Amino acid sequence: MSSTLNRGKRTVIVTGANCGLGFECAKQLFADEKLEWHVVLACRDESRGKEALETILNGSVSDRISLILLDLSDLESVRKFVKEFESAKLPPLKALVANAGIVAPPKLTLTKQGYEITVGVNHIGHFLLTNLLLPLFERDQKEINSIAVVSSEVHDPKLKIPMPKAKYDSIEKLISPPYETPEEIGSRYPTSKLLNILFTYELWKRLQNSSEFKNQFRVTCFNPGFIPETR
């Protein structure tokens, strides 16, 4: 049997796969022997990524799981991830789970490229990753590709969640906030989740209007609810 067959039939990338929801998602996908996913753990921290991989393997040996480092707060890391993924020659890419995310830190923190880190990680990093991966997905009308964006209901003020409301004035103010107040800081996470939803809608629309990608993708936005174990 060839090494390609040993590595599974199709590939799924899960960002933030070393803990919480991302870890459980990767674990369940790896356990699905019927679909034979090759699961790529896209993690920022190498040691925690290796620990997650070993936990999923649970003492077994398998070529159906890989760890590739990805720091969504650094766009160069995103580009490097895509290059490493492409050079790995894994089974056809069929799914992306854009899960990784952070809650706004108490003080203004910037990404490597100088963007506010909550919006940078939760939206901009995934935006670039998704767009760079699109040409690498398998084109097969028999089996549609899947992109799942993990968002949250905290963006919706109607639900009266005890968090500041999502606030969108302009992208310039989001990536480079002009001032710091508790409300401004608190609104960054809900706003980043709103951006996830808007991105999902726009991505789906553009894919359907594209002669290259039409009817090739299922794009969904997922609200996992309150998960206190997620870090």
Q: What is the pLDDT along the chain (231 residues), one digit of tens a residue?
A: 344 457 889 999 999 999 999 999 999 999 998 889 999 999 999 999 999 999 999 999 999 999 999 999 999 999 999 999 999 999 999 999 999 998 888 888 999 999 999 999 999 999 999 999 999 999 877 889 999 999 876 655 565 565 666 666 777 777 787 667 777 777 788 888 889 999 999 999 999 999 999 999 999 998 776 565 544
**pLDDT, position 178:** 67
* DSSP string of the chain, one letter each residue: --HHHHT-SEEEEEETTTSHHHHHHHHHHHH-TTTTEEEEEEES-HHHHHHHHHHHHTT---SSEEEEE--TT-HHHHHHHHHHHHHTTPSPEEEEEE----PPPSS--B-TTSSBHHHIIIIIIHHHHHHHHGGGB---TTS-EEEEEE--GGG-GGG--SSPPP--S-HHHHHS-S---HHHHHHHHHHHHHHHHHHHHHHHHHHHT-TTTTTSEEEEEE-----TT--
**pLDDT, position 229:** 55
**pLDDT, position 156:** 56
Q: Which of 115, 168, 179, 189 is catalytic?
A: 189
- Across the beta sheet with 217-222, the strand order is 65-69, 37-43, 10-15, 93-98, 145-150, 217-222
Domains contained in the chain, number: 1
- Structure-token pair, residue 159: 């639900």
Pairing assessment for the beta strands 65-69 and 93-98 based on DSSP bridges: unpaired
> Which of these, 91, 57, 73, lies nearest to 15 by C-alpha position?
73
**pLDDT, position 179:** 65
**pLDDT, position 180:** 76
Q: Is residue 123 part of a domain?
A: yes
Distance from C-alpha of 186 to C-alpha of 175, rounded to nearest angstrom: 15
Q: Is residue 137 part of a domain?
A: yes
> Rounded to a whole number, what is the distance in angstroms from the first to the last CA of the chain?
40
Q: Is residue 82 part of a domain?
A: yes
**Residue linked to tokens 């960002």:** 15
**pLDDT, position 75:** 98
- 201 is annotated as an active-site residue: no
Contact 194, 166 (CB under 8 A): yes
The CATH number assigned to the domain holding 217 equals 3.40.50.720
**pLDDT, position 52:** 98
Q: Is residue 227 part of a domain?
A: no
Residue 32, judged by CB atoms within 10 A of its CB (0-12, 13-18, 19+), counts as exposed
**pLDDT, position 103:** 86
Give the length of the chain: 231
**pLDDT, position 130:** 98
- Residue type at position 134: L
Q: Is residue 228 part of a domain?
A: no
Q: Is residue 152 part of a domain?
A: yes
**pLDDT, position 2:** 43
**pLDDT, position 176:** 80
Q: Is residue 41 part of a domain?
A: yes
Q: Is residue 231 part of a domain?
A: no
Beta bridge partners of 159: none
Structural domain range at position 121: 3-222
